[in-house]
Structure 1
Amino acid sequence: MLDQDTKVHDESRQGEAFAPETISAQTYSKKFYIESYGCAMNFNDSEIVASILNQEGYGPTRNVEEASLILLNTCSIREKAELTVRKRLTEFKKIKQSTPGLLVGVLGCMAERIKGKLLEEEKLVDLVVGPDAYRSLPALIAEAETGQKSVNVLLSREETYGDISPVRLDNNGVTSFVSIMRGCNNMCSFCVVPFTRGRERSRDAYSIIKEAEELFASGYREVTLLGQNVDSYYWTNDAGTETITFALLLEKVALINPLLRVRFSTSHPKDITDEVLYTILKYDNICNYIHLPVQSGSTRILQLMNRTYTREWYMKKVARIRELIPDCGLSTDVITGFCTETEEDHQDTLSLMEYARYDLAYMYFYSERPGTLAERRYKDDIPEAVKKRRLAEVVELYRGHSQATMEKEVGKTFKVLAEGVSKRSDADLYGRNDQNKVVVFPKENFKKGDYVMVKIESCTSGTLIGKAVY
């Protein structure tokens, strides 16, 4: 049976503890343990939190038993994530009962929405901190150490954490995220992000460039520019004499060094302009890969979702991308069973997927989230069994497309950035090509961080398999 979330070829991890191998266990007198859930923004936020805590004498640990502070960086996008976090908090409550002085805190998107339940009704946590309040963590921890419950979930119209250098908690030394903006203005009716992360604000462009430069100087060879809606990035300096759009920012990061590969995520279809596409086309080190969430193939459902485009408009955008960048990798998000969705609406989604033939897809059945516009306006009236059946059909169609797409790559040669040793064999390395497809090849004399030309000899539905060519 399909779970609520079906993520095919999803490289993100849920609820994993992070701590860099490079920080000595003896460096800090106090230890914090952090688990992150949800989107890449949450994982990046955990690195900002780690930087703030380092300044207060806390070092990260992967061992919860040696921590004096346990933090869960949470997600409210889907119900499953919240249920998982509650289960983990219950487990930590048991540890807390036998560990005097241990503090447990919740960060991120769940913080504001259910702070009362976590603090008072269920008494699961000592502190609750929203996404814009991480600078207040030291004061909140000090308050919690006195036995008081500590809360700061205020949203900000200015906070970008642009001056904080993140501690790379889950680093492979090769790829990293760089946050360029926070919040979202789109108000999609199914989404809670505008209410948990606030309005859009763009980070100082030169702080972004500096962070990317420092990563490259430290040996990193790929950065992903990150935001809820990166394409709407728009920064003006204090004097009002310089304005930088997303296309210009993309160019400035690409110009740092030809060996620095650049990706970005996530895009809203309405904001992918020709200017952005031409910038991708202009620079070899900007990857030919775009995440373009469609959510539904039905114009009627898209209107209920407040996505601001029609089925036909989206298809023209896909055509334009393929016209300018023929080999561009394309990924998407799909939600089945949104309010009032009919079989005809569902068939529209399947037919649009046939048209786009995505390289990668993140597929879910609809989960009503408290506080969203959809919860207030519409009835969640599609039976769960129908949602799951439609999701199964979407997944089956996608998997067929993915297999066919991968098979087309056999015999081709790609430039691959080696990211590390393959999980299946120490004799192999893995990395990704320009289109974000995973490639596995014999290690030979190569190491992570190397660019390797790999000829593809075979494939699975999710992996290209080849050998280096010289």
Structure 2
Amino acid sequence: MISSQTPFMDLRFHVQTYGCQMNKHDSERVFGMLESLGAEAVDSIEAADVVVFMTCCVREAADTRLFGQVASMKNLPLREGSPLSERLVAVGGCIGQRDGERLFESLPNLSVVFGTQNLASLPTLLQSAYSGAGKSAEVLERSTAFSSDLPTNREQPWAAWLPITVGCDNFCTYCIVPHVRGRERSRELDDIVAEARGYVEAGVKEITLLGQNVNSYGRDLYGEPRFAEVLEAVAATGIRRLRFATSHPKDLTDEVIAKFGTLPCLMPYLHLPAQAGSDDVLKRMNRKYTARHYLQLIEKVRAVRPDIALSTDIIVGFPGETADDFEATFNLVKSVGYSQVFTFIYSKREGTPAAKWDDDTPREVVQQRFDRLVEVVQESAYRNNQTDLGTEVEVLVEGTSKRDAGVLVGKSPKNQTVHAPLPAGFTIDQLAGGFVTVRVEEARTWYLRGTVVGIEEASA
């Protein structure tokens, strides 16, 4: 790690993050590392001497966005007073891991490339580029370290991402993640609990456990998954709210499901990616479960926690998807009645088996299927939110509305966005990170709105 007696003391940096929660967590570590060296974080590329892109390569749109944004910075002038002769641009995350030094060929103004396995190398690579040694790249195939060992600067002091695994062993045929995040590795339970306990002592109100597949936690350490034990142990630290992402249906056990009924801090929200409702498509995706098995899991979860909010991921237009396949997916989504669905049109990712498969389904047909699915998703989300109309919900306050600074915004236990006017006599600085009770007077498709009727915690 670079000494604090370096030119980092004079630098300003900006981090742009794309993709999943793991990338957001890694970005917080980038903030922590660079700030610990004396650099100052700024809110815009224009004001930064160093720009770090934490990238995602799950879909083609992410590549396009990154390449366009980096290229557009080529002629962007440096801020007045910058100690650099030209802006340093670093690309990390999944695109950095996938492409490595090849990125220099297509992005001439790029200075540094690093991968998912060597986040800690970023300061050294930047120092090398800063000192005139030229472009620097380091991409490791495997690491024994966890990014959680690095300094951090969390986006919100009252919420924390806590990785329990990294990598993935599932190799779904459409997914690039195992190739850029590596094989699955689990953290020692004692390390997880120690980090969680530290967050609780620091005043964190909500912890989200992270992994490409949290349900398989411990298989590499103990020979079998022990995620239920992780939930129990973290809950015992006294955390107020506990969440996790993401779950693979094939590894969701009865023991984990039971925790929704026995752990008060485990929030009534589950993201369980189905990806498709056709058994033929699921088999080609290498998902290792059937639609029937998936629906049985939903029944079990609702039996334990009837009020639980469910979300999922769905891919439309997977190679070879027939009209009947899509109808099976459509019917599954309609049957479950999700509170939220992340719908995607299939995006070919080079290096995955599905990228080699031909598909003659016209693009307009895929788009029509996608539009149909979105419509039923919106109807379901609206219908689910209506069940909270007239009730009182506990809200963890996050800030104010972008449209109206007089309206607070926060999250309900079911992960719904909730709006309410700031109560008289309180500022958002007093309420942010605390809990309020909101009486729901309006329920829309994607949010609830109401009036604050109780304030549990507020800053002095």
Q: Please list, as runs of the form range in 1=range in 2, the aligned pairs for 1:346-357 lying within 5 A after superposition.
A: 346-357=326-337
Residue 370 of structure 1 and its aligned partner are, at CA, apart by 0.8
Greater relative contact order (Cα < 8 A, sep 6+) = 1
Residue 235 of structure 1 and its aligned partner are, at CA, apart by 7.5
Q: Please list, as runs of the form range in 1=range in 2, the aligned pairs for 1:207-226 lying within 5 A after superposition.
A: 207-226=191-210
Q: State the partner residue of 1:274.
A: 254
Distance 2:111 2:359 in 1: 34
Q: Does structure 2 conserve the Cα–Cα contact (< 8 Å) formed by 1:42 and 1:108?
A: yes
Q: State the partner residue of 1:254.
A: 235
Specify which of 290, 297, 300 is matched with residue 317 of structure 1.
297
Q: Can you give the 5+ residue segments of structure 1 that lack an aligned partner in the other structure?
A: 1-26
Q: Can you give the 5+ residue segments of structure 2 that lack an aligned partner in the other structure?
A: 1-7, 455-460
Q: State the partner residue of 2:59.
A: 78
Residue 372 of structure 1 and its aligned partner are, at CA, apart by 0.9
TM-score when normalising by structure 2: 0.89
Q: Deviations over 1:361-408 (max 9, x none)?
A: 1111001011112113x2243322222111111100100111111112
Letter of the aligned partner of 1:58 in structure 2? Answer: A
Q: Please list, as runs of the form range in 1=range in 2, the aligned pairs for 1:19-30 lying within 5 A after superposition.
A: 28-30=9-11
Letter of the aligned partner of 2:117 in structure 1? Answer: D
TM-score when normalising by structure 1: 0.87
Q: Deviations over 1:43-97 (max 9, x none)?
A: 1111112223234332322233343321111110111111010011112222379
Q: State the partner residue of 1:148.
A: 134
Q: State the partner residue of 1:398.
A: 377
Residue 36 of structure 1 and its aligned partner are, at CA, apart by 0.6
Distance 1:31 1:124 in 2: 18
Q: Does structure 2 conserve the Cα–Cα contact (< 8 Å) formed by 1:160 and 1:202?
A: no
Q: Please list, as runs of the form range in 1=range in 2, the aligned pairs for 1:130-279 lying within 5 A after superposition.
A: 130-145=115-130, 146-168=132-154, 170-171=155-156, 173-234=157-218, 245-257=226-238, 260-279=240-259
Q: Does structure 2 conserve the Cα–Cα contact (< 8 Å) formed by 1:118 and 1:124?
A: no
Distance 2:20 2:358 in 1: 27
After superposition, the Cα gap between the structure-2 partners of 1:401 and 1:58, relative to the gap in structure 1 and judged at 3 Å, is same
Residue 266 of structure 1 and its aligned partner are, at CA, apart by 0.8
Which is further off, 312-321 or 453-462? 453-462
Q: Deviations over 1:301-350 (max 9, x none)?
A: 00011110111111111111111111111000011000010111111011
Q: State the partner residue of 1:416.
A: 395
After superposition, the Cα gap between the structure-2 partners of 1:461 and 1:33, relative to the gap in structure 1 and judged at 3 Å, is same
Q: Does 1:330 align with 2:330?
A: no
Residue 101 of structure 1 and its aligned partner are, at CA, apart by 4.0
Q: State the partner residue of 1:24.
A: none
Distance 2:52 2:86 in 1: 14
Distance 1:366 1:244 in 2: 30
Distance 1:295 1:236 in 2: 26
**Helix, strand or coil: the match of 1:467?**
strand
**Helix, strand or coil: the match of 1:194?**
helix
Specify which of 419, 422, 436 is matched with residue 415 of structure 2.
436
Letter of the aligned partner of 2:40 in structure 1? Answer: G
Distance 1:302 1:327 in 2: 28
Q: State the partner residue of 2:110.
A: 125
Which is further off, 121-130 or 322-331? 121-130
Distance 1:244 1:306 in 2: 20
After superposition, the Cα gap between the structure-2 partners of 1:455 and 1:59, relative to the gap in structure 1 and judged at 3 Å, is same
Percent identity for Structure 1 against Structure 2: 35
CA RMSD after TM alignment: 2.4
Distance 1:450 1:52 in 2: 28
Q: Does structure 1 conserve the Cα–Cα contact (< 8 Å) formed by 2:243 and 2:267?
A: yes
After superposition, the Cα gap between the structure-2 partners of 1:297 and 1:236, relative to the gap in structure 1 and judged at 3 Å, is closer
**Helix, strand or coil: the match of 2:194?**
helix
Distance 2:43 2:437 in 1: 35
**Helix, strand or coil: the match of 2:76?**
helix
Distance 2:23 2:359 in 1: 28
Q: Does 1:44 align with 2:20?
A: no
Residue 154 of structure 1 and its aligned partner are, at CA, apart by 1.4
After superposition, the Cα gap between the structure-2 partners of 1:96 and 1:268, relative to the gap in structure 1 and judged at 3 Å, is farther
Distance 1:96 1:73 in 2: 22
After superposition, the Cα gap between the structure-2 partners of 1:66 and 1:468, relative to the gap in structure 1 and judged at 3 Å, is closer
Q: Please list, as runs of the form range in 1=range in 2, the aligned pairs for 1:39-118 lying within 5 A after superposition.
A: 39-95=20-76, 100-118=85-103
Residue 116 of structure 1 and its aligned partner are, at CA, apart by 4.3
Give the paired residue count.
Answer: 438
Specify which of 333, 338, 343 is matched with residue 358 of structure 1.
338
Distance 1:350 1:464 in 2: 26
